[in-house]
Structure 1
Amino acid sequence: MWARVTSIGLKGMEGYRMNVEVGTYVGTDSFKIVGLPDAAVKESKERIIAALRSLGYTLSGQKITINLSPADQKKFGPMFDVPMAISLLMSLHELDMVIPVETGFLGALSLDGSIQPVEGMLPAALAAKRLGIKRLYLPYDKALPALDLQVVDIVYVSCLQDVIGHLSGEWIPPLYKNKEEVSFKGTDLFDFQQIIGHGSAKHAFEIAAAGEHHVLMTGPPGCGKSLLAGSFPTILPELSKEALLEVISLYQLSRNAYPRTIVPPFRNPHHSASGVSIIGGGQYPKPGEISLANRGVLFLDEIGEFSKKTLDMLRQPLENGSITINRTHATITYPAEFIFLAAMNPCPCGYEGSNIHYCTCTPKQVLAYKNKLSGPIRDRFDINLSLRPVDFSEAMMEQVREPSTIVRKRVDEARKRQYDRYGEQVCNGRVSYEVLVRTSPLTWEQQRNLQQLSFKRGFSNRTQIKIIRLARTISDLQASECITDKSIYEAVELNGEV
Structure 2
Amino acid sequence: MWAKVISIGLKGMEGYRVNVEVGSYVGNDYFKIVGLPDAAVKESKERIITALRSLGYTLSGQKITINLSPADQKKMGPMFDLPMAIAVLLSLHELEAVIPEDTGFVGALSLDGSIQPVEGLLPAVLAAKKLGIKKLYMPLDEGLPVLQLEPLEIIYVASLQDVIGHLSGQWRPPFLKKQEEDENLSSIDYLDFRQIIGHYDAKHALEIAAAGEHHVLLTGPPGCGKSLLAGSFPSILPALKKEAHLEVLSLYQLSRNAYPHSKAPPYRNPHHSASGVSIIGGGQYPKPGEISLAHRGVLFLDEIGEFSKKTLDMLRQPLEDGLITISRTNATVTYPASFILLAAMNPCPCGYTGSNSHYCTCTSKQITAYQNRLSGPLRDRFDINLSLAPIDINTDAATENSEMVRGRVEAARNRQYERYGSEVCNGRVPYEILMNMSPLRDEQQRQLQRLLLKNAWSNRTQIKIIRLARTIADLQAKPAISDEHISEAIKLNTV
Please give the range of the TM-score, normalised by the shorter of the 2 chains. over 0.9
Q: Select 2:480's aligned residue among 479, 482, 488.
A: 482
What is the rounded CA distance, in whole Å, between the counterparts of 1:402 and 1:39 in structure 2? 57
Once the two structures are overlaid, the 10-residue window that deviates more, 273-282 or 102-111, is 273-282
Q: Secondary structure at 2:494's aligned position in 1?
A: coil
Instruction: Report what 1:134 is aligned to.
Output: 134
Which amino acid letter does the alignment assign opposite residue 326 of structure 1? S
Structure 1 partner of 2:256 = 255
Once structures 1 and 2 are overlaid, which stretch shifts more, 197-206 or 178-187? Answer: 178-187
Q: Conserved in 2, the CA contact under 8 Å of 1:145 and 1:182?
A: no
Please give the alpha-carbon distance, in whole angstroms, between the structure 2 residues aligned to 1:214 and 1:429.
8
Alignment of 1:279-318 (within 5 A): 279-318=280-319
Counterpart in the other structure of 1:85: 85
Q: Does 1:451 align with 2:449?
A: yes
What is the aligned partner in structure 2 of residue 369 from structure 1? 370
Instruction: Tell me the distance in 2 between the aligned counterparts of 1:61 and 1:184.
Output: 60
Which whole-Å CA distance do the structure 2 matches of 1:303 and 1:403 have between them? 28
* Separation of aligned partners in 2, 1:187 and 1:61: 60
Letter in 1 for 2:316: R
Contact 2:13 2:123 in 1 (8 A): yes
1:97 equivalent to 2:126? Answer no
SS in 2 for 1:246: helix
**CA distances 1:107-154 after superposition (whole Å, capped 9, x unpaired):** 001111111101101000011111111110000011111111110110
List aligned pairs for 1:115-134, cutoff 5 A.
115-134=115-134
For 2:410, the equivalent position in structure 1 comes to 412
User: Match of 2:444, as an amino acid?
Assistant: Q
Write the distance in 2 (CA, Å) between the matches of 1:175 and 1:140. 12
3-state SS in 1 of match to 2:162: helix
Tell me, yes or no, if the aligned pair for 1:146 and 1:182 is still in contact at 8 Å. Answer: no
Q: Equivalents in 2 of 1:330, 1:352: separation in Å?
A: 47
Task: Tell me which residue corresponds to 2:71.
Answer: 71
Contact 1:347 1:369 (C-alpha < 8 Å) held by counterparts = yes
Q: Show the counterpart of 2:179.
A: 179
Q: Distance in 1 between matches of 2:265 and 2:465?
A: 26
Q: Separation in 1 of the partners of 2:119 and 2:465?
A: 43
| Aligned residue in 2 for 1:10 | 10
Task: Identify the residue that residue 265 of structure 1 maps to in structure 2.
Answer: 266
What's the CA shift for 1:180?
4.2
CA distance in 1, matches of 2:183, 2:157: 21
Q: 1:288 to 1:177 in 2, by over 3 A?
A: same
Aligned to 1:274: 275
Q: Which residue of 1 aligns with 2:245?
A: 244
For residues 483-498 of structure 1, the aligned pairs below 5 Å read 483-497=481-495
3-state DSSP of counterpart to 1:401: coil
Write out per-residue CA displacement over residues 178-218 of structure 1, whole angstroms, 9 at most, x where no aligned residue: 41499997532212222111111010000001111000000
Residues 296 and 339 in structure 1, CA contact (< 8 A), matched pair in contact too: yes
Tell me the distance in 1 between the aligned counterparts of 2:342 and 2:124. Answer: 31
Secondary structure of 1:65's aligned partner: strand
1:175 Cα deviation from its structure 2 partner:
6.6
Amino acid at match of 2:24: T
Deviation at 1:176, TM superposition (A): 4.0
Could you tell me how far apart the structure 2 residues matched to 1:374 and 1:357 are? 28
Deviations 1:295-336 (A, max 9, x none): 111111110001111111111111111111122222211111
Aligned-partner Cα distance in 2 for 1:184–1:64: 54
Distance in structure 2 (CA, Å) of the matches to 1:226 and 1:28: 69
User: 2-side partners of 1:172 and 1:188: how far apart?
Assistant: 42
Q: Which residue of 1 aligns with 2:337?
A: 336
* Counterpart Cα distance in 2 of 1:118 and 1:347: 49
Q: CA deviation at 1:451?
A: 2.2
Pair 1:465 & 2:463 matched: yes
- 1:429 alignment partner, one of 427, 430, 438: 427
Structure 1 residue 38: Cα displacement: 0.5
TM (norm. structure 1) is 0.96
The count of aligned residue pairs is 494
For structure 1, list consecutive stretches of 5 or more residues without a partner in the other structure.
none
Contact 1:54 1:112 survives alignment (8 Å): yes
How far apart in 1 are the matches of 2:243 and 2:137?
20
The aligned runs of 1:206-225 (5 Å cut-off) are 206-225=207-226
Deviation at 1:268, TM superposition (A): 0.9
* Cα drift, residue 457 of structure 1: 2.0
| Cα distance change of structure 1 residues 496 and 241 upon mapping to structure 2, 3 Å threshold | same
1:445-490 Cα offsets, whole Å, 9 max, x none, are 2222222222222222111111111111111111111101111111
Task: Kindly provide the amino acid, as one letter, of the partner of residue 237 in structure 2.
Answer: L
Amino acid at match of 2:409: V
Counterpart position of 1:327 = 328
Whole-angstrom distance in 2 between the partners of 1:193 and 1:318 = 30
Counterpart in the other structure of 2:38: 38
Q: Counterpart amino acid of 1:168?
A: S
- CA–CA distance in structure 2, aligned partners of residues 133 and 423 of structure 1: 26
Which ranges in structure 2 are unaligned for 5 or more consecutive residues? none
Once the two structures are TM-superposed, the CA of residue 361 in structure 1 deviates from its matched residue by 1.0
Shift of 1:173: 4.1
Q: Which letter does structure 2 place at the counterpart of 1:424?
A: S
Distance in 2 (CA, whole Å) between partners of 1:180 and 1:319 is 36
Distance 2:328 2:452 in 1: 43
CA offset at residue 287 of structure 1? 1.1
Q: Distance in 2 between matches of 1:467 and 1:417?
A: 19
Please give the residue correspondences for 1:350-389 in structure 2 after superposition, counting only pairs within 5 Å.
Answer: 350-389=351-390
1:4/1:206 Cα in 2 relative to 1: closer, same or farther (>3 Å)?
Answer: same
1-side partners of 2:112 and 2:294: how far apart? 39
Q: Is the 8 A contact 2:300 2:343 kept in 1?
A: yes
Closer, same or farther: CA 56–190 of 1 in aligned 2, 3 Å: same
Alpha carbons 1:15, 1:128 under 8 Å: kept:
yes
| 1:401 aligns with one of 390, 399, 402 | 399
Q: List per-residue Cα deviations over 1:237-265 (Å, max 9, x = no partner).
A: 11011000001111111111112221111
Q: Give the whole-Å Cα distance in 2 for the aligned partners of 1:173 and 1:184.
A: 32
Contact 2:304 2:343 (8 Å CA) reproduced = yes
SS of the equivalent of 2:88 reads helix
Instruction: Name which of structure 1's ranges 207-216 and 417-426 shifts more when overlaid on structure 2.
Output: 417-426
How many angstroms apart in 2 are the aligned matches of 1:443 and 1:493?
A: 20
Letter in 1 for 2:48: I
Contact 1:236 1:411 in 2 (8 A): yes
In structure 2, how many angstroms separate the alpha carbons of the residues matched to 1:477 and 1:177?
39
CA distance in 1, matches of 2:232, 2:78: 40
Is 1:158 equivalent to 2:144 in the alignment? no
